[in-house]
Amino acid sequence: MSRALHKLLDEVERVTDFDARFYRKSTLIRRVDSRIRETRSMNCRNYLSYLKKNPSEYERFLEALTINVTDFFRDKSVFNTLKRNILPDIIQNIKDKKRKAMRIWSIGCSRGQEPYSIAILLKEISEKNKNHVQIFIHATDMNKTALTKARSAYYNEEEVKSVPPQYLKKYFEKVYDAYRVRKELRELVRFKRHDLIKGNSLGKFHLILCRNLFIFFEPQLQEKILKKIHTSLKRNSILVLGKAETLKDDSLFRCIAAQDHIYRKRASS
């Protein structure tokens, strides 16, 4: 990593408290280069000068670094497995223990499609099985713009094309040329800005989805985050990773659905 890039990251951390050093080098350089081009800076050193003169650029830099591709029901087989096996089992376990609430954490929720997709599945399961379990879905991201979009719950035609027609009709309302997630779903999801790297855990959860984030992190950061997620899960609870992400160390989790990259927490040693 060049000296100029080190200075840039030091400055970003000083102002925003966000440490980007553990991102994969290729990802980091690609995102920095995109901001250099966008701001018409000559190089990393010039971009650092631009950053200091334009305070709003700090936020734009973070947004460039944390932007993720997302979609409703992305990787359909994962959501089919969640609906068919994982979520009903979690709900039954909660009821067996005479508990009343189910807690889910969607990490890196971007524009909200993932947590709303989970909310739809839970509504469907609840309706079918007459479950009476309270649902709390915590959805976090570092990207302010993405979170604003998620809270608004408005999506255009292109953004809802992967929503099955029966769900689109049932859980969305048409507002001019857009679709908005209905209030009954919006009330299940709590969006919050949260730094997964430096931030504290948000409590104990039955299910954590952390999909397509590890691919951007160096191995030592992956290990640190996995330990944080392990601590944040209740006993025997579930972690879902992205389709391109596999755990090499099975000391914290055991795989229960290899094709869908779904893992169960192991007891602490």
> pLDDT, tens digit, for every residue of 1-60?
588 888 998 998 898 888 888 788 888 888 899 999 999 998 999 999 999 999 999 988
- Note whether 47 and 142 are same-domain residues: no
- Note whether 56 and 145 are same-domain residues: no
Whole-model pTM: value is 0.89
Torsion of CA 262, 230, 73, 196, to 10 degrees: -150
Beta bridge partners of 233: 205
- Note whether 123 and 156 are same-domain residues: yes
Mode of pairing for the β-strands spanning 172-175 and 233-241:
unpaired
Q: Answer whether residue 165 is part of any domain.
A: yes
Q: Answer whether residue 85 is part of any domain.
A: yes
- Note whether 47 and 112 are same-domain residues: no
pLDDT by residue (tens digit) across 85-139?
999 999 998 988 888 899 999 999 999 999 999 999 999 998 887 767 899 999 9
Range of the domain at 131: 76-265
CA 66 to chain centre: 10
- Note whether 258 and 140 are same-domain residues: yes
